[in-house]
A = this chain, B = another copy of it.
């Protein structure tokens, strides 16, 4: 059952949207399906202003968050799901077909996590760097001859799916009980790590790599990318992340006191 509270734990994130009509359409779909948390990353300022001030624009556009980077937009999230056409690249994350997404989101909400659905710009979709912040990729099952969806329609279809599959059906006599049953009871109660802490940890590991001469500075960007993906594969619980953060802080501090060997 998707309560008001749970909908409040799902963010829609638009990365650099261009067309104000598409921004408006995305916001309208959110209002149609009862979602209210919108974040817009590095929007083109004139179009963003235009979309916000359009006649009949949903209330949620006025309260939308505006961030410079995707990292900021998803910093409080524990499950980041990217969308887009996967035809042209081999995905580095697990791919979930949209009709199968609801159980993932359900599990995340059950353990008090925060979910972001991330949509890329109209022209080229999410970049490889954007995708490095994603735990999973959502694939909307479209026809191979015309796979690319309009932004506003893609948002509508994703939110419809979540609203329809997570919500109770009022008209059905016996509404289905929650199907979520944790495989092991030890796994359930442990809250996930928010993106901001994963990014902090990636930064510290990277510093340790440099300070220990494990990896040259020229590899910095590539390392950061791989670390992001690695940490999302590991999906550490919050308390484990805290422990690793403490450990790497000490390691980095110590390494910086060691005189350079050459």
Contacts and interface: CB of A to CB of B under 8 A. Distances in A.
Interface of A: 21, 25, 28-29, 31-34, 58, 97-100, 140-143, 145-150, 152-153, 156-157, 160-161, 163-165, 167, 169, 171
The copy count of this chain in the complex is 2
22 contacts: A21-B21, A25-B150, A25-B152, A28-B146, A28-B150, A29-B149, A29-B150, A31-B145, A32-B142, A32-B149, A32-B153, A58-B146, A99-B164, A99-B165, A99-B169, A140-B160, A141-B167, A141-B169, A150-B156, A153-B156, A157-B160, A160-B160
Contacts of A143: 31-34
Contacts of A29: 149-150, 153
Given A97-B169, A156-B153, A171-B97, A163 B146 contact: no
A142 B28 contact: no
Contacts of A33: 142-143
Best-surrounded residue of A142, A145, A152, A161 (most CB of chain B within 10 A): A142
6 residue pairs, one from A and one from B, having the closest CB atoms? A34-B143, A31-B146, A153-B156, A99-B164, A157-B160, A32-B142
A97 B171 CA distance: 9
Contacts of A150: 25, 28-29, 152, 156
B141 A28 contact: no
Given A33-B142, A171-B97, A149 B153 contact: no
A77 B146 CA distance: 27
Contacts of A99: 164-165, 169
A38 to B, nearest CB: 14
A157 B160 CA distance: 7
Given A28-B153, A140-B160, A156-B156, 18 more contacts: A25-B152, A25-B153, A28-B149, A29-B149, A31-B143, A32-B143, A32-B147, A34-B142, A58-B146, A141-B167, A149-B156, A150-B152, A152-B152, A153-B153, A156-B157, A157-B160, A160-B160, A161-B164
